[in-house]
Amino acid sequence: MSLNPIPVSFSVRDLQRKYRDIIDTAKRSKDAVVLINNSRPEAVVLDVETYGDLIRDAYPYDESYTLRTVERSRKSAKGGRTKQLKTWDELDA
């Protein structure tokens, strides 16, 4: 199980109007549901099982995210969309 890097989101106002939909989405997806207020993330809703897994051992989530990031980087490099840096200072450029 892994948390989606781009989770489902609802507005904070939706929390009042669609409480059951938001909870059901979190339970069904086993993923974070982000609550947005004024275009900014304000809170996260997780189902109890996912929350329990996360607080017991966050490593599987970190590992999964890292592996997906490495895979995206490899695909980007193969597609010629990356630049090889010669120094760390080039990151700021």
What domains lie within the chain, and their CATH numbers?
8-72 (3.40.1620.10)
- Give the pLDDT confidence score for residue 28 in this predicted structure: 92
- Give the pLDDT confidence score for residue 72 in this predicted structure: 82
- Give the pLDDT confidence score for residue 59 in this predicted structure: 67
Q: Please list the pLDDT of the chain residue by residue as tens digits (93 residues).
A: 555 566 789 999 999 999 999 999 999 988 889 999 988 889 999 999 988 888 887 666 677 777 887 888 888 878 877 766 778 777 665
d(CA 84, CA 73): 12
- Give the pLDDT confidence score for residue 93 in this predicted structure: 56
**Is the pTM for the entire model greater than 0.75?**
no
- Give the pLDDT confidence score for residue 81 in this predicted structure: 73
- Give the pLDDT confidence score for residue 7 in this predicted structure: 74
